[in-house]
Amino acid sequence: MRIGILTGGGDCPGLNAVIRAVVRKAIDAYGDQVIGFRDGWRGVLEGSFEELTIDSTRGILPRGGTILGSSRTNPYKREDGVQRVRNILSDFNLDGLIAIGGEDTLGVANRLHGDGVKVIGVPKTIDNDLGGTDVTFGFDTALHIATEAIDRLHTTAESHNRILVVEVMGRTAGWIALHSGVAGGADVILIPEIPFDIDEVCRLIRRRHERGRYFSIVVAAEGATPKNGLMQVAQTGSTDEFGHVRLGGIGYALEREIEARTGFETRATVLGHVQRGGTPTAFDRVLATRLGLAAIDAVHEGKWGMMAALHSTHVELVPLADAVAEVRHVPVEQYQHFDVLFG
Ligand code: F6P
């Protein structure tokens, strides 16, 4: 068979491990040829590609990012996008595509499947917010990076008796914030799922002072929002091709508000893309490899429109539609389970 593969959306540690696993098994076990499209759906639309071989994918397992490049291109935003995808598949004699991505890339894959394109999905995102799978690769790596940052901020917060606010990624789901905050012993954790009350945040910080702890760590997901409009958060107005606004600003807004309301010296750190870069953890390498192997098997079984997913300890196939039906949020009970540890 001739198979196309692409990586779309925000990059994520473990993407190269998927590519390597697909290429190894496709060539060695099935005798396939693998075409790697450059920069996500853009490469498919523009016919920009390279042939992937066992040699060209050697040594990429521990490398962050994606050797194929990525973009947030949406074929459905081009008038002739779907037809161009179909044309490329037939011009290149491709039997099908493997799309590695998050809600946007897999959302496109799901629509293309509905439009008759043969595609299999592999879920990725550091945000861990895709449906249909228990966890996404990239999350574990981001979590380790955020936790290490919180550990480092702890010692400087304590030395200066400061409040340190850490803004982590997570547009609509607070998985990184909650898990890194719990792992790092944060005093306040703010997630997009639960609008926060700035008065309550300040109450928890003041309570620590009353108990003789003159520093605090506040972890906020970039998508955390204040309730009651009691705080102004600046956001950039631009949107990508999937309609997402660029977030950022909650960390600095919290810095200003906490210092103004409590009088305690406060500083913000925005972790940003540090969370997405660098080498994947062992867990993410293994998960990404397992998903890649399952994806190429699914191609050979003709399971188009499906996605490789982790359920408990098993890798299984689920419909792409399940993955993109809705964002997988942090359950409120899971957050509340930890709130006794705050302040
Ligand atoms: O979807 C993953 C993610 O890292 C989000 O957490 C974040 O909001 C977004 O991507 C940032 O996107 P970009 O790298 O395009 O600014």
DSSP characters over 102-119: SHHHHHHHHHHHHTT--E
The predicted model scores a pTM of 0.95
Q: Between 3.40.50.150, 3.40.50.450, 3.40.50.1110, 2.60.120.40, what CATH number should domain 2-138+280-324 receive?
A: 3.40.50.450
140-277 shares the fold of 2-138+280-324: yes
pLDDT of residue 117: 97
Residue 291 neighbours by CB under 8 Å, 6+ apart: 18, 21, 122, 123, 137, 308, 309, 310, 315
pLDDT of residue 100: 98
Top mutation candidate among 42, 104, 276, 330 for ligand 1, by most atoms within 8 Å of CB: 276
247 in contact with ligand 1, CB cutoff 6 A: yes
Residue 237: predicted pLDDT: 62
Q: What is the pLDDT of residue 230?
A: 61
Q: Name which CATH class applies to 140-277.
A: alpha beta
Cβ of 10 less than 6 Å from ligand 1: yes
Active-site residue, selected from the candidate residues 127, 140, 187, 297 = 127
User: For residue range 116-152, what is the model confidence (pLDDT) as tens digits?
Assistant: 999 999 999 999 999 999 999 999 999 999 999 999 9
Answer whether 276 contacts ligand 1 (Cβ < 6 A).
yes
SS (H, E, C) 211-251: CCCCCEEEEEECCCCECCCCCCCCCCCCECCCCCECCCCHH
pLDDT of residue 180: 98
Confidence bin at 256 (pLDDT 50/70/90): very high
Shortest-distance atom of ligand 1 to CA 72? 15
**Residues 179, 180, 182, 187, CA torsion sign:** negative
Residue nearest to atom 1 of ligand 1 (CA): 10
User: How many Å lie between the centroid of ligand 1 and the Cα of residue 10?
Assistant: 6
Domain limits of the chain?
2-138+280-324, 140-277
The total number of residues shown for the chain amounts to: 343
127 in catalytic set: yes
Residues 6+ apart with CB under 8 A from 41: 6, 8, 71, 73, 74, 75, 85, 105, 108
Percent pLDDT > 70 in the chain is 97
Q: How far apart are CA 21 and CA 56, in angstroms?
A: 13
Q: Tell whether the model's pLDDT for residue 99 goes beyond 80.
A: yes
**Interval 145-174: pLDDT, tens:** 999 999 999 999 999 999 999 999 999 999
Tell me the H-state helices in the chain: 15-28, 41-46, 81-91, 103-114, 139-160, 175-183, 198-210, 250-262, 282-300, 320-324, 332-338
